[in-house]
Chain A
Amino acid sequence: MKRSKTMEFGVGLFMLAGILGLVFLGLRVSGLSLSAPTDTFRLEANFANIGGLKPRARVTMAGVTVGRVEAIELDTDWYDARVILRLDSDLEGQLSQDTTAAILTAGLLGEQYIGLSVGGAPEMLEDGDTIRDTQSALVLEELIQQFVSNMASS
């Protein structure tokens, strides 16, 4: 009987460890947060070229992560990329209309993310607005092409 009790305890501990492991994988490894995901607002931005930007990429402001890229789609009116951003609701009504969004790269070969920098206009961006002033990703081939044609002409 005693032996069976310790066995039950062991199995219970084993299953508990499994659940805790899954929680670890959720929180620490895949970065889920326990806070409700509703306190965000949505902005859109059109880019001529998004380079290697992916959904779930970071949106930063002065290097601080303030949101994520929710979706990327092709805008068939202008044939450019429409990027939908989800930002912390603290920033709602805090970003001016002439905020710029630029696609930046972490390191030489790192992941691409969006950097926002605030302008000075008195009107503020609200939920669902579009950022007008955008700067596309640097595409290495285009840079090289420019460099080579500059070299050739000089």
Chain B
Amino acid sequence: MQSKFKQGATQITRLGRKGCDAMEALGRAGVFLGQSAVGIPSREGWRLWLRQMHFVGVLSLAIVLVSGLFIGMVLALQGYTILVDFGAEQALGQMVALSLLRELAPVVAALLFAGRAGSALTAEIGLMKATEQLTSMEMIGVDPLRRVVAPRLWAGFVALPILTVGFSVVGIWGGYLVGVEWLGVFEGSYWSNMQASVSFINDVGNGMIKSLVFAVVVTWIAVFQGYDLVPTSEGISRATTRTVVYSSLAVLGLDFVLTAVMFGGL
């Protein structure tokens, strides 16, 4: 009886410690974001940002655009088979554009971004930490937060919204290819129905706000996981996995909240 009670108490203690650890990590992450995202970048910082933009943005372009094309095409194909039952295939453009702009482009681009760029950021910074490059930087008086972390954060913040725009544009074009060129929806009604129903502020604007939020969250998680990991090879692999898992969950969860706030009243 006594030992059982003791065991239960240890369990509770462990739970409490886990909670405290999680809170500490969240606090560290917040301070980390605050310290690294502020401050005017120097000329050198600008160059570093540019290099990260190339890596995080330009090199992610291919996978994002190809996915966007296929998702737009699939949307048009699926939408057509449903809409044609109601004789409403003119509404295809509206359906493709609204689902891409409001939902699919921000979310899928963010998920791809987490897989393509986020995991690489974690692994890179993690290896820098494991090989003690970060510590040596501090020793020679260079702040690793400003030198290593800040350019990566800002590159992520800027790159993901641009990638999202590209995803939408290519997706709508893919929907046009399938719907108009292949299935024979009248071209004029594809575009005019879209223009009549898409509002720049409500649909494009809210999609951009979503993708900006996702950009901050995904990049933040990726960079922080790299900065905060246990500096061993196992630690790096775990942190990379955590980056993808946490960012995917955060993106999908936040997407629901943002959608409820933005479109819940419509």
Give B202-248 interface residues, CB cut-off 8 Å to A: 203-204, 208
Q: Does B144 contact A (CB under 8 A)?
A: no
A interface footprint on B144-186 (CB within 8 Å = 1, 0 otherwise)? 0000000000000011011001101100100000000000000
Q: Does A119 contact B (CB under 8 A)?
A: no
By the criterion CB–CB under 8 Å, are A26 and B200 in contact?
yes
Q: Does B139 contact A (CB under 8 A)?
A: no
Q: Does A64 contact B (CB under 8 A)?
A: no
**From DSSP, what is the main secondary structure of chain A's interface residues?**
helix
Determine the distance from Cα of A110 to Cα of B51 in the docked complex, in whole angstroms.
50
By the criterion CB–CB under 8 Å, are B204 and A25 in contact?
yes
- Which of B24-32, B84-92, B130-138 is the contact stretch? B84-92
Q: Does A32 contact B (CB under 8 A)?
A: yes
- Nearest-CB distance from A147 to chain B (Å)? 21
Nearest-neighbor residue (CB-CB) of B47 within chain A: A4
By the criterion CB–CB under 8 Å, are A21 and B199 in contact?
no
Q: Does B54 contact A (CB under 8 A)?
A: yes
- Counted as pairs of residues, one from A and one from B, with CB atoms less than 8 Å apart, the total is 86
- Nearest-CB distance from A40 to chain B (Å)? 17
Kindly identify which residue among B61, B87, B204 contacts A30, using a CB–CB cutoff of 8 Å: B204
Q: Does B97 contact A (CB under 8 A)?
A: yes
**Number of contacting residues on B, CB 8 A?**
36
Q: Does B1 contact A (CB under 8 A)?
A: no
A interface footprint on B32-45 (CB within 8 Å = 1, 0 otherwise)? 00000000000000
By the criterion CB–CB under 8 Å, are A22 and B195 in contact?
no
Q: Does B123 contact A (CB under 8 A)?
A: no
By the criterion CB–CB under 8 Å, are B166 and A18 in contact?
yes
Q: Does A29 contact B (CB under 8 A)?
A: yes
Nearest-neighbor residue (CB-CB) of A10 within chain B: B58
Q: Does B57 contact A (CB under 8 A)?
A: yes
Chain B residues in 8 Å Cβ range of A106: 90
Chain B residues in 8 Å Cβ range of A56: 196-197, 199
Q: Does B121 contact A (CB under 8 A)?
A: no
Determine the distance from Cα of A22 to Cα of B169 in the docked complex, in whole angstroms.
8
Chain B residues in 8 Å Cβ range of A30: 195, 198-200, 203-204
Chain A residues in 8 Å Cβ range of B57: 11, 14
Q: A25-B204, A56-B196, A109-B87 are in contact. Are A7 and B169 (CB under 8 A)?
A: no
Determine the distance from Cα of A22 to Cα of B203 in the docked complex, in whole angstroms.
12
- Nearest-CB distance from B84 to chain A (Å)? 12
Determine the distance from Cα of A4 to Cα of B165 in the docked complex, in whole angstroms.
26
Q: A26-B204, A107-B87, A107-B88 are in contact. Are A14 and B53 (CB under 8 A)?
A: yes
Chain A residues in 8 Å Cβ range of B252: none
Chain A residues in 8 Å Cβ range of B196: 31, 56-58, 111
By the criterion CB–CB under 8 Å, are B54 and A29 in contact?
no
Nearest-neighbor residue (CB-CB) of B49 within chain A: A11
Determine the distance from Cα of A109 to Cα of B87 in the docked complex, in whole angstroms.
8
Determine the distance from Cα of A26 to Cα of B207 in the docked complex, in whole angstroms.
13
Chain B residues in 8 Å Cβ range of A107: 87-88, 90
Chain B residues in 8 Å Cβ range of A17: 162, 166
- Nearest-CB distance from A32 to chain B (Å)? 5
Given A11-B57, A24-B169, 20 other A-B residues pairs in contact with their CB atoms under 8 A:
A4-B47, A14-B58, A17-B166, A18-B162, A18-B166, A22-B208, A25-B204, A26-B200, A28-B191, A29-B172, A29-B195, A31-B198, A32-B200, A56-B197, A57-B196, A58-B196, A107-B90, A108-B87, A110-B88, A111-B197
Q: List 16 A-B contacts (CB under 8 A).
A: A4-B51, A7-B51, A11-B50, A14-B61, A14-B162, A15-B158, A25-B165, A28-B191, A29-B168, A30-B198, A30-B200, A31-B194, A57-B196, A58-B196, A109-B88, A111-B197
Chain A residues close to B by CB (< 8 Å): 4, 7-8, 10-11, 13-15, 17-18, 21-22, 24-26, 28-32, 56-58, 106-111
7 closest A-B pairs (Cβ-Cβ)?
Answer: A31-B195, A18-B162, A21-B165, A30-B200, A30-B198, A21-B169, A11-B53
